[in-house]
A and B are shown apart, each in its own frame.
Chain A
């Protein structure tokens, strides 16, 4: 699909939407809780993928992650009313996720989602809530400490430990390398 996008085939955007559109909208709506705004964000994100597809480098991450990152960032920017600083970590430094063929993507995505939802659900409530406030709420660690009435160090620990637990869970299930 990425190759078709790079070649400028508009049908590739239709395929991308058919595969991820509902989840992209679910993500935007989870953040914004408003249908019109969520749809605007999803539309902007797909157009952004289209516009910038030539620069997409599959060795640095999947098309899916790229799309969802755009959706999340735009939704957070809209929610918070400002453009936030983004992580520039080069994911090529980390182990790449195992690749699956296009034909397996729909099946693999379904299996993967179940595992990820299970892993996230198994986190202790304070860790899960902390990750939710950061990722879906766009709050900084200081803001989260204030909202949850806990010391800043506790928030930092919950973030790190929560992500590490998720990674351990997903690695054991073969979702992450």
Chain B
């Protein structure tokens, strides 16, 4: 196999990203990328773009029993065991991380802030249920996203008997002209609009109506005006544990 020049590889990066090269050329490009950081970066970007192409397709309409067949096949198939956990690695209590693992748990600043806040006794776990006042009131605390809203905090107090909650948030990123804070309760992955605020100070105090036991999460986004569904990522989000 002859080595590929930079000029030759440059010409083939699009086809490489699309896996539209014959086997020998795929291997030659791979070889080149091992030693050419510039082309490796370009190929990576083109490849990531290629991975968007499945989303140009419309949903299909498979047989209703396909889901059942897959579940049965999975149950009959042993999963390969996970690699052993490295020594010294700690496991965060599931209660703290819960379903936020893909976002909040990746942010070390967020995680550290949460732990420190807990140690200081000022609440601060991600969506952690702080406590009960009798059986009718429950309080949750949230921290802002480490990048989008560092320093932001929110408390949500839910009065179960009245099915009413109040939210108080502080330290949110300041809005620019036309923007609003929008609050969401999330049920089975679907955000439900729970009102907006255009507070210029970064602080919100607002009532939330509804039976919170129906929802799994609370979030705040910054939107260009009130939206029916979020158009931006949350600046603050957390779990609502059953209280």
Contact = CB atoms under 8 A, between A and B. Distances in A.
Interface of A: 1-3, 6, 8, 10, 13-14, 17-19, 21-23, 25-30, 35, 38-39, 42-43, 46-47, 50-55, 58, 61, 65, 68-69, 71-72, 84-91, 93-95, 97-113, 116-117, 119-120, 131, 134-136, 139-142, 144, 153, 155-164, 166-167, 170, 175-176
B87 interface: no
B104 A21 contact: no
Given A65-B51, A140-B22, A159-B15, 17 more contacts: A10-B74, A10-B75, A17-B67, A17-B70, A30-B57, A42-B70, A43-B66, A47-B74, A50-B79, A93-B40, A100-B103, A103-B186, A135-B18, A135-B53, A159-B14, A163-B18, A170-B49
A68 B55 CA distance: 9
B189 A105 contact: yes
Contacts of A51: 77-80
B13 interface: yes
19 contacts: A1-B102, A3-B101, A18-B67, A21-B62, A93-B41, A94-B41, A94-B47, A94-B48, A95-B45, A98-B233, A101-B102, A102-B100, A109-B55, A116-B53, A116-B56, A136-B53, A141-B15, A159-B15, A176-B49
A107 to B, nearest CB: 6
A111 B231 contact: yes
Interface in B85-115: 99-104, 106
B74 A46 contact: yes
Interface of B: 11-23, 26-27, 30, 33, 40-41, 43-63, 66-67, 69-71, 73-75, 77-83, 99-104, 106, 186, 189-191, 216-217, 219, 229-231, 233-234, 237
A10 B73 CA distance: 10
Nearest to A165: B49
Given A85-B23, A85-B27, A144-B20, A54 B82 contact: yes
Contact of A90 (B11, B13, B27, B44): B44
A10 B43 CA distance: 35
Contact of A140 (B20, B55, B102): B20
A43 B73 contact: yes
B228 to A, nearest CB: 11
A163 B55 contact: no
Contacts, number: 252
B11 to A, nearest CB: 6
Residue of A53, A100, A175 contacting most chain B CB atoms (<10 Å): A100
A61 to B, nearest CB: 8
Given A97-B48, A134-B20, A140-B20, A104 B230 contact: yes
Contact of A47 (B17, B46, B67, B70): B70
B234 A104 contact: yes
Contacts of B101: 3, 102
A54 B46 CA distance: 27
B61 A71 contact: no
A139 B27 CA distance: 17
A144 B217 CA distance: 49
